[in-house]
Structure 1
Amino acid sequence: MRPLLEERSNDQPSVQAEIAVSACLEALKNANKSVDDVDAVICACANLQRAYPAVAIEIQDLLGIQGYSYDMNVACSSSTFGIQNAVSDIRSGLAESILVVSPEICSGHLNFKDRDGHFIFGDVCPALLLEKEETSDVEGYKIISTKLKTFFFK
C-alpha cells in the first residue's frame, strides 16, 4: 500500500507542478475566473520537490499566468504564511488576485512499515484564489484579519 511515483525526465512537469495545476484549475473554476485574472502564484508547502527553479514558477508557466510567483516553505505553517503574503500583496496593491497552492508530496519519504505514523501524512494539494471582495464573482470567505508568529522550540 504505497504510491508508485515514476521518475520523470527534466522536460516533463514535476509531480508537484502537475497536481498543483489541477488544483489551481479547480479553484479558478469554483471562483468563476480564468488564468488571465491571476496576477501571482504562491506555492506554499513543507516538502518542496527541489530548491530551484521554484516549483511556483513551473506552475505559473504551465498555467500561462503572467506576473510573479515564488515558493514558500515554513514547514507545517506554509499555507498560513502563503495566505498572509497573498493578503498583504493584495492589500498593498501589488496584485489583484493570487493563487495560493500547497502541493504536498509526503509519500516519497514515508516508512510504510511504520504502522503507528505512516497514515498521518499523505499526498494532497489544496489551492485557493484570493482576491478583493469587490472583484469576486462568487460568494466566498472573507479574511477579516491576520497574524503570524513563529518560535523555535528547544
Structure 2
Amino acid sequence: MSSAIRGVIAGTGGYLPARSVSNDELAVEKNLDTTDAWIVERTGIRRRHFAAEGETASSMGAAACRAALAQAGASAADVDAVIVATATPDSAFPSTAARIQGALGVTRGFAFDLSAACTGFIYALSVADAMIRIGQARGVLVVGAEVYSRILDWSDRGTCVLFGDGAGAVFLRAEPGSARGLLSTHLHSDGRHGDILQVDGGAGSTGGTGVVRMAGREVFKHAVTKLASAVDEALAANGLGHDDVAWLVPHQANIRIIEAMGRKLHLGLDRVVVTVDRHANTSAASIPLALAEATRDGRIKPGELVLMEAIGGGLTWGAALARF
C-alpha cells in the first residue's frame, strides 16, 4: 500500500432551514405565473427550504460543520483550516469561513472563502485535498453554504423557482497510506460563457448585490457535454470504468441533467443520490448536503467509490472521485 497522504472524508453534515416551501405555496406567495406541474416537469423540484430572518451562510455552515465533526469523532482542536464555497457570503469581509471558524471555536490554522458558483464545493474539495497531500493541513472542514433566496428576482419564474437555501460540510482528515479518500479532482472553467449564468451586480461593479440571471437552454447544452467530459476524465485518470462507480452524487440543478449523467455512467436512479426534488438547487451546498443524507441513511457504505460532479456560473465545472 502506498504511503502517500490522502484526504479521507471522515464526517459529513448538513443543515436545512426549518421552512420548507412547496411549488404551489411559492406560486401563491410570490404571485408567480406558474404551477406545480410546470415546475416538476421541467426541473424535478417539488419543494425548497428558505432561510429565516437572521439565518446566514455562516450560521448554516457552522451547523453543518458541527454535524460533520461529530460524525468524524473530531473537535475544533482537530481543525487546521476552514474552506467555504459560497456565492452568498455574509459580507465582503470578514470571510464566511472566518465567521464559521469563530463560531466553532477554532483558534488555530486559517480560513477563507472560494467563489466558483455551483461548482464551488468541488473546487474547495480539491484545494483542501492538495493542502493535506503536501502536509499544510491535517484536518480541513470543506463547506458549501448558500442563501440564494436573497439574490433571486421573484418576477422571473425561469430562475426564482429553481433555488433553495442550505449548507453542507465534510471533514477531511489526513490518512497516510489509506486506500480510502479522495483519489483525484478535476477542475475546469471557461470565462467566455460567463454571461449565460451570472449574478448581475456586486460591490465592485454596481455597488449592490444583484440577482441571478440565466439563459437556461444554453446552460443545459453546456452542462451535459462538459459534465460527461469531466466524468470520463476522472475515471480515466484512475484507470477505472463506469462499472466501478457505486454512487453518483451530482450537483442538484435539474432532474433532466441528473438523469442524463446517470445514463452516461450506466447507473439507474437507484444508484444516484437525488435531493433536487426536496432541496431544489442549493448551489455549492447541494453536493455536501446530498453526501450527508446518503452517508447518514446508510446508502453510501465504506469502501464504495463515489463520483461527484457539478457545473456552475463562470462557466465552471469539475468532478471528484472518492472512496469512502
TM-score in same-fold range (> 0.5): yes
What is the count of residue pairs matched by the alignment?
A: 145
SS of the equivalent of 1:148 reads: strand
Conserved in 1, the CA contact under 8 Å of 2:128 and 2:142? yes
C-alpha contact 2:122 2:185 (8 A) present in aligned 1: no
Counterpart of 1:148 (choices 182, 187, 206) is: 187
Q: String of CA shifts for 1:43-67, please: whole Å, max 9, x gaps.
A: 1112223211111111101111121
Match of 2:127 among 85, 95, 99: 85
**Which runs of 5 or more residues in structure 1 are unaligned?**
9-13
Instruction: Give the whole-Å Cα distance in 2 for the aligned partners of 1:133 and 1:89.
Output: 13
**2:150 is aligned with 1:108:** yes
User: Are 2:92 and 1:45 equivalent residues in the alignment?
Assistant: no
Whichever of the two has the greater Rg, that structure is 2
Whichever residue aligns with residue 29 of structure 1, its letter is A
What secondary structure does 1:145 align onto?
strand
2:61 and 2:145 in contact (8 A); partners too: yes
What is the CA deviation profile of residues 120-147 of structure 1, one whole-angstrom value per residue up to 9, with x for unaligned ones? Answer: 11101010011123599xxxx6211122
Partner of 1:103, secondary structure, is strand
Matching residue within 103, 107, 131 for 2:173: 131
Paired amino acid for 1:16: A
Letter in 2 for 1:64: G
Which residue, 101, 118, 138 being the options, matches 1:60? 101
- Unaligned stretches of 5+ residues in structure 2: 1-25, 30-49, 194-324
- Specify the SS of the correspondent of 1:90: helix
More strand by share: 2
CA-CA distance at 1:113 after TM superposition: 4.5
Q: Distance in 2 between matches of 1:4 and 1:71?
A: 20
Aligned residue type for 1:41: V
> Structure 1's 43 and 73: CA in aligned 2 closer, same or farther, altered over 3 A?
same
Assess, with a 3 A threshold, how the Cα gap between structure 1 residues 86 and 110 changes in structure 2: closer, same or farther: same
Task: Answer whether contact 2:51 2:165 (CA < 8 A) is retained.
Answer: no
SS of the equivalent of 1:121 reads: coil
Which residue of the partner structure matches residue 15 of structure 1?
56
Residue of structure 1 equivalent to 2:71: 30
Partners in 2 of 1:76 and 1:142 — Cα distance? Answer: 22
- Amino acid corresponding to residue 102 of structure 1 in structure 2: G
Distance 2:81 2:116 in 1: 19
Q: Which amino acid aligns with 1:59?
A: I
User: How far off its partner does 1:110 sit?
Assistant: 1.8
Greater helix share, 1 or 2? 2
Relative to structure 1, is the Cα distance of residues 4 and 81 closer, same or farther in structure 2, using a 3 angstrom cutoff?
closer
